Amino acid sequence: GSEEGGDGTEADSAPPRVALVMKSLANEFFVNMAAGAEAHQAAHSEAYQLIVNGIRNESDLAQQVALVDQMISSGVDAIVIAPADSRALVPALSRAIAAGIVVINIDNRLEPEVLAEYELQIPFIGPSNRDGARMVGDYALRGLPGDSKVAILEGITSAFNSIQRRTGFEEAVAAAGMEVVTLQSGEWDQTRAAQITSAILSQYPELDVILAANDNMALGAASAVGMASREVVIAGFDNISAIHPLLQSGAVVATADQFGDQLAVFGIEYALEILATGIIPQDRQTPLELVTPETLQAN
Amino acid sequence: MRQHSTAAGIVARFSLVFEELFIFIALLCLVAFFALSADNFLTTGTLSAILSQLPALTVVTIGMTLVLVSGGIDLSVGSVVALSSAVVGLLYTVFGLPLPLAALLGILAGGCAGLVNGLLGSYLRLPIFIVTLGMLEAGRGLAYLVTGSQTMYIGPDIQSMALPIPGLGVSPAFLLALALVIVAQLTLTRTVFGRYVIAIGSNETAAKISGIRTEPYLCAVLVISGLLAGLGGLMNAAYLGASDPNAALGLELSAIAAAVIGGTSLMGGRGSIVGAFLGVLIIAVLQNGLAQLGVSEPVKRLITGLVIILAVLLDRWRSRP
Amino acid sequence: MRQHSTAAGIVARFSLVFEELFIFIALLCLVAFFALSADNFLTTGTLSAILSQLPALTVVTIGMTLVLVSGGIDLSVGSVVALSSAVVGLLYTVFGLPLPLAALLGILAGGCAGLVNGLLGSYLRLPIFIVTLGMLEAGRGLAYLVTGSQTMYIGPDIQSMALPIPGLGVSPAFLLALALVIVAQLTLTRTVFGRYVIAIGSNETAAKISGIRTEPYLCAVLVISGLLAGLGGLMNAAYLGASDPNAALGLELSAIAAAVIGGTSLMGGRGSIVGAFLGVLIIAVLQNGLAQLGVSEPVKRLITGLVIILAVLLDRWRSRP
Amino acid sequence: MTPRLAIESLCKRFAAPVLRDVSMAVAPGSIHGLVGENGAGKSTLINIVSGLLPADSGSLRLNGASYRPGSRRQALDHGIALAAQEMSLIDTLTVAENILLANLPQHKLAIDRERLIERSLLLMNRVDLRVSPQAAVAELTLAERQLVELAKALSMPESACKLLILDEPTSALTSPQADRLHSLLTERAAQGLSIIYVSHRLDDVLSVCDEVSVLRDGQIVLTAPTSGLGAEDLIHAMCGEELLADDAIAASPRGPIRLRVEALSSAEFPEPISLQCHSGEIVGIAGLAGAGRSELLHAIFGLGERRSGKVLLSGEAEVSIDSPSTAVRHGMAMIAEDRKAQGLFGGKSLAMNTTIAGLGRLGGALAAVLPRRELDVSERLLQKLKVKSEGPRQDIDRLSGGNQQKVLFARWLQTEADVWLLDEPTRGVDIGAKLAIHQQLRRLRDQGAAILIVSSELEELTALCDRILVLSARRVAACYERGQWSKELLLDAAFSQFKNSQSHAGAST
Ligand SMILES: Nc1ncnc2c1ncn2[C@@H]1O[C@H](COP(=O)(O)OP(=O)(O)OP(=O)(O)O)[C@@H](O)[C@H]1O
Ligand SMILES: Nc1ncnc2c1ncn2[C@@H]1O[C@H](COP(=O)(O)OP(=O)(O)OP(=O)(O)O)[C@@H](O)[C@H]1O
Ligand SMILES: [Mg+2]
Ligand SMILES: [Mg+2]
D15 is in which domain, residue-wise?
A: 5-239
**Which ligand number lies closest to the CA of residue D144?**
2
What is the CA(D351)–ligand 1 centre distance, in A?
18
Q: Do D146 and D223 fall within a single domain?
A: yes
- Ligand 1, atom 5, residue with closest C-alpha: D398
Distance, CA of C254 to CA of C249 (rounded, Å):
10
Q: Do D497 and D365 fall within a single domain?
A: no
Q: How many domains does chain D have?
A: 3
Q: What confidence score (pLDDT) does residue B259 get?
A: 93
Whether ligand 1 lies within 6 angstroms of the CB of D236 is answered as no
CB contact under 8 A, B298 and C124: no
Distance, CA of B4 to CA of C235 (rounded, Å):
61
pLDDT beyond 80 at D325 = yes
- Ligand 1, atom 10, residue with closest C-alpha: D398
Q: What confidence score (pLDDT) does residue D249 get?
A: 57
- Ligand 1, atom 18, residue with closest C-alpha: D41
Nearest CA among C281, C263, C280, C283 for reference residue C271: C263
Please report, rounded to a whole number, the percentage of residues in chain C having pLDDT higher than 90.
57
Is C249 touching B (CB cutoff 8 A)? no
Q: Tell me the per-residue pLDDT of D335-377, one tens digit each, with 9 for 90 and over.
A: 998 888 899 998 899 999 999 999 988 878 888 888 899 999 9
Q: What confidence score (pLDDT) does residue B317 get?
A: 67
Q: Do D212 and D359 fall within a single domain?
A: no
Distance of CA D156 to the CA centre of its chain: 24
CB contact under 8 A, A53 and C56: no
- Strand pairing of D467-472 and D475-481? antiparallel
Q: Do D321 and D256 fall within a single domain?
A: yes
Helix/strand/coil (H/E/C) assignment for every residue in C55-111: HHHHHHHHHHHHHHHCCCCCCCHHHHHHHHHHHHHHHHHHCCCCHHHHHHHHHHHHH
D210: domain CATH number is 3.40.50.300
Does D338 fall in a domain?
no
Range name among A52-56, A106-110, C68-72, C131-135 with the lowest pLDDT average: A52-56
Burial class (CB within 10 angstroms; exposed 0-12, middle 13-18, buried 19+) of C168: exposed
What is the CA(B265)–ligand 3 centre distance, in A?
32
Average pLDDT, chain A: 88
**Which ligand number lies closest to the CA of residue D176?**
2
Does D245 fall in a domain?
no
Is B298 touching C (CB cutoff 8 A)? yes
Distance, CA of B145 to CA of B150 (rounded, Å):
9
CB contact under 8 A, C52 and A25: no
CB contact under 8 A, C211 and D303: no
Q: Do D304 and D422 fall within a single domain?
A: yes
What is the CA(D346)–ligand 4 centre distance, in A?
22
Whether ligand 1 lies within 6 angstroms of the CB of D18 is answered as yes
Q: What confidence score (pLDDT) does residue B34 get?
A: 92
- Domain termination residue (choose one: D369, D392, D416): D416
Does D362 fall in a domain?
yes
Q: What confidence score (pLDDT) does residue D431 get?
A: 82
Which residues on B lie below 8 Å from C130 (Cβ)? 257, 260-261, 308-309, 312
What is the CA(D147)–ligand 4 centre distance, in A?
13
Instruction: Give the helix/strand (H/E) hosting D4.
Output: none
Q: What confidence score (pLDDT) does residue B22 get?
A: 79
pLDDT beyond 90 at B104 = yes
Range name among B235-239, D59-63, D133-137, D265-269 with the lowest pLDDT average: D265-269
Does D439 fall in a domain?
yes
Mean pLDDT along residues C201-220: 95
- Domain termination residue (choose one: D180, D205, D239): D239
The model's pTM: 0.86
| Residue of A74, A101, A189 to mutate when probing chain C, most C C-beta within 10 A | A74
pLDDT beyond 70 at B61 = yes
Q: Do D119 and D12 fall within a single domain?
A: yes
Range name among B232-241, C19-28, D344-353 with the lowest pLDDT average: C19-28
pLDDT beyond 60 at A216 = yes
Q: Do D500 and D371 fall within a single domain?
A: no
Q: Do D425 and D410 fall within a single domain?
A: no
- Dihedral Cα A83, A85, A86, A92, nearest 10 deg: -70
Coil vs helix vs strand at A208: strand
CB contact under 8 A, C141 and B266: no
Is C284 touching B (CB cutoff 8 A)? no
Q: Do D403 and D480 fall within a single domain?
A: no
- Strand pairing of A124-126 and A78-81? unpaired
Q: Do D131 and D267 fall within a single domain?
A: no
Give residue D396's pLDDT band: very low, low, confident or very high (50, 70, 90).
very high
Nearest to D90 among B4, B186, B203 (CB): B203
pLDDT beyond 80 at A68 = yes
CB contact under 8 A, D303 and C209: yes
Give C53 or C102, the one with higher predicted confidence. Answer: C102
Nearest to A73 among C49, C248, C249 (CB): C49
Mean pLDDT along residues A236-258: 93
Q: Which residue of D has its CA nearest to C193?
A: D365
Residue C309's CB: how many other CB atoms inside 10 A? 22
CB contact under 8 A, C209 and D391: no
pLDDT beyond 60 at C1 = no
Average pLDDT, chain D: 88
Nearest to B2 among D75, D92, D506 (CB): D506
What is the CA(D474)–ligand 2 centre distance, in A?
10
Distance, CA of A149 to CA of A200 (rounded, Å):
11
Helix/strand/coil (H/E/C) assignment for every residue in chain C: CHHHHHHHHHHHHHHHHHHHHHHHHHHHHHHHHHHHHCCCCCCHHHHHHHHHHHHHHHHHHHHHHHHHHCCCCCCCHHHHHHHHHHHHHHHHHHCCCCHHHHHHHHHHHHHHHHHHHHHHHHHCCCCHHHHHHHHHHHHHHHHHHHHCCCCEECCHHHHCCCCCCCCCCCCHHHHHHHHHHHHHHHHHHHEHHHHHHHHHHHCHHHHHHCCCCHHHHHHHHHHHHHHHHHHHHHHHHHHHCEECCCCCCCHHHHHHHHHHHCCCCCCCCCCCHHHHHHHHHHHHHHHHHHHHHCCCHHHHHHHHHHHHHHHHHHHHHHHCC
| Ligand 2 atom, smallest distance to D337 CA | 27
Give residue C273's pLDDT band: very low, low, confident or very high (50, 70, 90).
very high
Question: What is D263-277 written as a DSSP string?
Answer: EEE-SSS-S-EEEEE
Range name among C73-87, C291-305, D98-112 with the lowest pLDDT average: C291-305
Distance, CA of D327 to CA of D333 (rounded, Å):
8
Q: What confidence score (pLDDT) does residue D505 get?
A: 38
Q: Tell me the per-residue pLDDT of D448-506, one tens digit each, with 9 for 90 and over.
A: 999 999 998 888 898 899 999 999 888 899 999 988 888 888 888 887 776 554 444 33
Q: What confidence score (pLDDT) does residue A237 get?
A: 94
Is D134 touching B (CB cutoff 8 A)? yes
Nearest CA among D210, D212, D190, D192 for reference residue D200: D212
- Domain termination residue (choose one: D416, D439, D460): D416
Helix (H), strand (E) counts: chain D? 17, 22
Average pLDDT, chain C: 88
What is the CA(D44)–ligand 1 centre distance, in A?
6
Distance, CA of B53 to CA of A220 (rounded, Å):
12
Distance of CA D426 to the CA centre of its chain: 7
Which residues on C lie below 8 Å from D394 (Cβ)? 8, 12
Range name among D175-184, D421-430, D490-499 with the lowest pLDDT average: D490-499
Highest mean pLDDT, choosing among A59-68, A286-295, C286-295: A286-295
DSSP D396: G
Give residue A213's pLDDT band: very low, low, confident or very high (50, 70, 90).
very high
Nearest to B198 among D87, D92, D109 (CB): D92
Nearest CA among A5, A71, A58 for reference residue A29: A58
pLDDT beyond 50 at A278 = yes
Residue from D11, D12, D14 to probe ligand 1 pocket by mutation (most atoms less than 8 Å from CB) = D14
Residue from D92, D174, D273, D295 to probe ligand 2 pocket by mutation (most atoms less than 8 Å from CB) = D295
- Ligand 1, atom 7, residue with closest C-alpha: D398
Q: Mind telling me how many Å the CA of B259 is from chain D's nearest CA?
A: 18
CB contact under 8 A, B301 and C126: no
| Ligand 2 atom, smallest distance to D140 CA | 31
Interface of C with A (CB under 8 A): 38-41, 43-49, 52-53, 56, 144, 147, 149-151, 153, 155-156, 159, 236, 239-242, 244-250, 287-288, 291-292, 294, 296-298, 300-301
Which residues on A lie below 8 Å from C287 (Cβ)? 63, 66
Give B26 or C45, the one with higher predicted confidence. Answer: B26
Give C42 or B284, the one with higher predicted confidence. Answer: B284
Give residue C17's pLDDT band: very low, low, confident or very high (50, 70, 90).
low
Mean pLDDT along residues A47-64: 84
Q: Mind telling me how many Å the CA of A222 is from chain B's nearest CA?
A: 8
Nearest to B198 among D52, D93, D507 (CB): D93
pLDDT beyond 90 at B81 = yes
Q: What confidence score (pLDDT) does residue C5 get?
A: 47
Please report, rounded to a whole number, the percentage of residues in chain B having pLDDT higher than 70.
92
Give residue D156's pLDDT band: very low, low, confident or very high (50, 70, 90).
very high
Q: Which residue of B has its CA nearest to D138?
A: B202
Q: Tell me the per-residue pLDDT of A87-126, one tens digit each, with 9 for 90 and over.
A: 888 888 998 999 999 999 998 888 888 899 889 989 999 8
Mean pLDDT along residues C11-36: 76
Strand partners of residue A21: A53, A81
Whether ligand 1 lies within 6 angstroms of the CB of D346 is answered as no
pLDDT beyond 80 at C124 = yes
Is D306 touching B (CB cutoff 8 A)? no
Please report, rounded to a whole number, the percentage of residues in chain A having pLDDT higher than 90.
54
Give residue C100's pLDDT band: very low, low, confident or very high (50, 70, 90).
very high
pLDDT beyond 90 at D324 = yes
Q: Tell me the per-residue pLDDT of D195-245, one tens digit each, with 9 for 90 and over.
A: 999 998 888 999 999 999 999 889 999 999 999 888 888 888 887 765 555
Residue A42's CB: how many other CB atoms inside 10 A? 9
User: Within 6 Å (CB) of ligand 2, which residues are found?
Assistant: D 139-144, 268, 287, 289-295, 337, 456
| Residue of C34, C145, C149, C299 to mutate when probing chain A, most A C-beta within 10 A | C149
Which residues on B lie below 8 Å from A245 (Cβ)? 153, 155
Q: What confidence score (pLDDT) does residue C4 get?
A: 46
Please report, rounded to a whole number, the percentage of residues in chain C having pLDDT higher than 70.
92
Phi and psi at D356, nearest 5°, equal: -55, -45
| Ligand 2 atom, smallest distance to D135 CA | 31
Q: Do D364 and D317 fall within a single domain?
A: no
Mean pLDDT along residues A257-280: 90
Q: Mind telling me how many Å the CA of B111 is from chain C's nearest CA?
A: 18
Q: What confidence score (pLDDT) does residue D467 get?
A: 93
Distance, CA of D482 to CA of B193 (rounded, Å):
56
Whether ligand 1 lies within 6 angstroms of the CB of D20 is answered as no
Q: Do D118 and D231 fall within a single domain?
A: yes
